[in-house]
Structure 1
Amino acid sequence: MALFQVIRFDGPSEALVWKYPKENMNSGSQLVVGPAQTAIFVKGGRIYDLFESGTYTLDTNNLPLLNTLINLPFGSRSPFTAEVFYVNRRSILDIKWGTQVPIQLKDPVYQVIIPLRAFGQYGVSVEDPGLFLEKLVGTSEAYTTDDLVRYFRGLVGSRVTDELAGAITDEGMSFVEASARIAQLSQRIAGRLQDFFNDYGIRLVSFFISSINAPEDDPTVRRLKASLSSRQEMDTLNYNYQQARTYEVLGRAADQLGGDGGMAGVGVGAAMGAAMAELVRQNLGTVPTTQPEAASYCVGCGAPLPPGAAFCPKCGQAVRMAQRCNACGAPCQPGDRFCARCGKALAP
């Protein structure tokens, strides 16, 4: 029986799990475990010992398997058999996912069935090497990144479909809004997926949605987008249904006004004027009216004074500023003792 002195990883770079090709070794062998690797000793289909990154000399002190099953005396260097699996724990960050078929979802806002598609990317790493080996690898001599992607492609797609539909329904968001809230949806779905990956000893390193959309050639999508576009145009012009109907009525009334004449025409014209005034009020709001400035007169001769005059152009008397009531602010004439508007006594 050959004795192998050094046990090290010699598998392909894409391998997540690689089985050391020989099962015969001795208790003095050197075990080399690289960075982000875990070496697992298996005997009879059962996991016994795990070694993290480092270099080890296998003996009864650090390999309980030797005492448990082989029963070697302390310090003895004797041959034994076991399987050694290397598990790579590096992160895999470029796994693509997507809905294989559109999600037939009833839009919570528009109440129509919308076929939604979603695409994105996620990353994983092995968190529990022993559980990962038991659940996914078994007795295989190698397990690659491609094997993992193929295994989880359908499972992840199905999970994301269910979680995405549930999130959109729970949040009451339209399919248009969903595409604008990708970050929020990604965070919610990532939490649910982590619970799923825990069963395989896998940690979800990253998850994000890159696109949520609906097929442009779907009849329902085309009709809904056309409707939304028309409504947006009406909103931009500050129209609503009632206003559009008013313009239609005014148009018919104008035709009648041009043909009938007489008092009937006057009545229609008045109605049109009132309707137009109401439309202007709705669209522009209340327009403040400008009050004309009150005229000023000379207290000496009574002649009107031009704006800003300091002396009367008729008699040359200096213009005295009118006193104002402290209570209501109304202008008062010189010599007045009480306000003509509110009746309050004026300050001397």
Structure 2
Amino acid sequence: MGLFSGQFANVVEWEEWNDQMIFYKWSNKEIKKGSRLILRPGQDAIFLYNGKIEGIFKDDGEYDIESQIIPFLSTLKGFKFGFNSGIRAEVLFVNTKEFLVKWGTKNPINIPTPALPGGMPIRANGSFTFKVKDYVSLIDNIAGTKKQYLVDDVKQRILAILDQLLMCWISKEGKDMFNLQANAFEIARGIRDDLDMEIMRDGLTITNFTIMSFNYPAEIQSMINKTASHSMIGNMNTYTQASMVEGMTSGKMQGGGAASDMAGMIMGMNMANQMMQNISPLNSAASNQAPATESKPNFCPNCGQKTGDGNFCSNCGQKLIP
């Protein structure tokens, strides 16, 4: 038997390794005497016999199937290879890494809002991560009919329902349509939970979902920028005056000397009027104040007699308060 053992030996391994593949099925081959299993880091090997899981191996390395694998398989325990016999089994290799996928809306999503009858067209982008969680569900719903499964397959499935989920969570609880970035974390958390429920039945799980940014139409974005600028400026009169001064001193004001002089005169008049308006309330307040009262002397300036509580001297009748 030693003479022929080599010709029946084979290697069970992930022959088409690709970090964008979620699983690969080694099948339609006989596992023969002398066969070896090669398990690389980040891979799990699931032995299947008649469509059922017989054993799962997770430690990377090289194994002799006859002595190190078969003794641990429930149905095949005690199987002995004959001269021409082999095992018609399948081995499912699973990529255990966490997959990162970037996403972006292909078309604008019209979010209902009272301000715009047709809805607010919004785009968004971000990323999500997922991994394999339940091998039984994965085999029952996907691996049973597919030889391999790619990250792009999951991405296309997520994108097919992502627009509806974005619309649902943006509209939920009356989110501020013009300040969605402030609510991005809450919206992303809701979408992650919904997506996780959607792919859970296939043995996958969403480990994270993020929204990097929301994008508005150019006209809407311009309005948002102007509103933000106005709120930062506060006093529009001060802003206008400062802008005119800057234009004159920097030489950016167009129209020649006459136009510049006229603009300067108008600006000076406006500034003077503004100053007078600011001063007028102060003058009015000052005129409304009661005149300060003069103090009464302690001694009469005419006769020197000490004064009392009256407004005239009790000795000579001199008026004490002018």
1:300 aligns to what? 299
1:128 matched to 2:134: yes
How big is the shift at 1:227?
A: 12
Aligned residues: 250
Distance in 2, Cα, partners of 1:10 & 1:191: 35
The residue correspondences of 1:310-329 to structure 2 (distance < 5 A) are none
2:76 aligns to what? 66
Q: Determine if contact 1:179/1:213 at 8 Å carries over to the other structure.
A: no
Aligned residue type for 2:151:
L
How big is the shift at 1:212?
A: 1.1
How big is the shift at 1:230?
A: 11
Q: Determine if contact 2:14/2:93 at 8 Å carries over to the other structure.
A: yes
Distance in 2, Cα, partners of 1:335 & 1:107: 78
Aligned residue type for 2:16:
G
Aligned residue type for 1:163:
L
In 2 relative to 1, CA 169–208 (structure 1 residues): closer, same or farther, beyond 3 Å?
same
Distance in 1, Cα, partners of 2:170 & 2:98: 30
Distance in 2, Cα, partners of 1:195 & 1:159: 12
* Percent of aligned pairs sharing the same letter: 22
Q: Determine if contact 1:106/1:113 at 8 Å carries over to the other structure.
A: yes
How big is the shift at 1:228?
A: 7.4
In 2 relative to 1, CA 237–106 (structure 1 residues): closer, same or farther, beyond 3 Å?
farther
CA deviations on 1:86-105 (whole Å, 9 max, x unpaired) are 11111112x12122221112
In 2 relative to 1, CA 5–229 (structure 1 residues): closer, same or farther, beyond 3 Å?
closer
Q: Determine if contact 1:28/1:77 at 8 Å carries over to the other structure.
A: no
Distance in 1, Cα, partners of 2:208 & 2:180: 20
2:14 aligns to what? 9
Q: Which runs of 5+ in 2 are unaligned?
A: 238-276, 311-322
- Which residue of 92, 95, 106 maps to 1:88? 95
Q: Determine if contact 1:126/1:203 at 8 Å carries over to the other structure.
A: yes
2:80 aligns to what? 76
2:258 aligns to what? none
Aligned residue type for 1:300:
F
Q: Which runs of 5+ in 1 are unaligned?
A: 68-73, 240-278, 304-314, 318-332, 337-348
Q: What is the TM-score of this pair, normalised by structure 1?
A: 0.58
CA deviations on 1:165-200 (whole Å, 9 max, x unpaired) are 222222212321113322222222112211122122
The residue correspondences of 1:1-40 to structure 2 (distance < 5 A) are 2-4=7-9, 6-14=11-19, 15-20=21-26, 23-26=29-32, 29-40=35-46
Q: What is the TM-score of this pair, normalised by structure 2?
A: 0.62
The residue correspondences of 1:81-120 to structure 2 (distance < 5 A) are 81-93=88-100, 95-107=101-113, 113-120=119-126
The residue correspondences of 1:1-348 to structure 2 (distance < 5 A) are 2-4=7-9, 6-14=11-19, 15-20=21-26, 23-26=29-32, 29-54=35-60, 56=63, 57-58=67-68, 61-67=71-77, 74=78, 76-78=80-82, 79-93=86-100, 95-107=101-113, 113-143=119-149, 147-149=150-152, 151-216=153-218, 221=220, 225=223, 229=227, 236-237=234-235, 293-301=292-300
Q: Determine if contact 1:29/1:58 at 8 Å carries over to the other structure.
A: no
Q: Determine if contact 2:43/2:96 at 8 Å carries over to the other structure.
A: yes
Aligned residue type for 2:216:
A
Distance in 2, Cα, partners of 1:204 & 1:30: 34
Q: RMSD across aligned C-alpha pairs, in angstroms?
A: 4.2
| SS of equivalent to 1:296 | coil
Distance in 1, Cα, partners of 2:108 & 2:229: 27
How big is the shift at 1:63?
A: 0.7
Distance in 2, Cα, partners of 1:110 & 1:294: 67
| SS of equivalent to 2:8 | coil
Distance in 2, Cα, partners of 1:334 & 1:23: 129
| SS of equivalent to 1:297 | coil
Aligned residue type for 1:114:
M
1:344 aligns to what? none
2:266 aligns to what? none
In 2 relative to 1, CA 154–9 (structure 1 residues): closer, same or farther, beyond 3 Å?
closer
How big is the shift at 1:8?
A: 3.4
| SS of equivalent to 2:175 | coil
| SS of equivalent to 2:125 | strand
Q: Determine if contact 1:5/1:30 at 8 Å carries over to the other structure.
A: yes
